[in-house]
Amino acid sequence: MEDTVTLCDIGNTSYHFYDGVEDRREDVLTFDPSSVKEEVYYVSVNSALTQRLSTLDQWHDLSKYVAWSSYYETMGIDRIMACEAIEEGLIIDAGSAITVDVVEAGRFMGGFIYPGIASMQKAFREISPKLDYKLSFELDLDKMPKNSQDAISYGVLATLYREVIRHNKKIYITGGDANKLAKIFPSATVDELLLFKGMKKMMEKRC
């Protein structure tokens, strides 16, 4: 495998490219993947785009190289690539959903999915306009709340915090809300390129 390759993480709204030095995003509605001339290795949670890219010779789907017996059939490819990046630890991917996965000695041990921050805030807002608060990540989770904003924040964050901490693992946080969650996990490593590191590691082992 070449030292420098172009990787791409494809979601429902964007192509996220990384060439080992710079990363950039392109909108799925306006970007033409056939305009790319170099070889691209990608993962995708967008089934329509995956189908389209299968007809383009320069685009290579890394999901074909996954040892699926080590994971489970319906597990998101983005979660799998993040797990491939580390040998030991717990990964929090803070996106539209929050996923938590545990890896021990290079093996996926299991994980769970939690509603994302925006989804949680929307849910409380739909219950009552009086519950329309942004989550407070500076909250002291060792004290019982005495106001509405803290009560909502505690209800969301304390459960996640305690479930993560009980595994007693090194914590890696990635995803769009990584820096917010890092406030309640101050010893965690924030790594926005974790998924790409997993993609490259898989390529080195299996491509």
Show which residues are catalytic: 78
Burial category of 143 from C-beta neighbours within 10 Å (exposed 0-12, middle 13-18, buried 19 and up): exposed
Whether the Cβ atoms of residue 91 and residue 108 lie closer than 8 Å to each other: no
Q: Residue 101 burial (CB < 10 Å; 0-12/13-18/19+)?
A: buried
For residues 21 and 114, what is the distance between their CA atoms, to the nearest angstrom? 32
| Token duo for residue 138 | 């500076």
In terms of phi and psi (left: phi > 0; alpha: psi -120 to 50; beta: otherwise), the region of 148 is alpha
**DSSP character string of 127-181:** H-GGG-----TT--TTS---SHHHHHHHHHHHHHHHHHHTT---EEEESTTHHHH
DSSP classification of residue 68: G
Edge-first strand listing for the sheet containing 189-190: 107-115, 97-104, 89-94, 171-174, 189-190
Between strands 40-44 and 6-10, the pairing is parallel
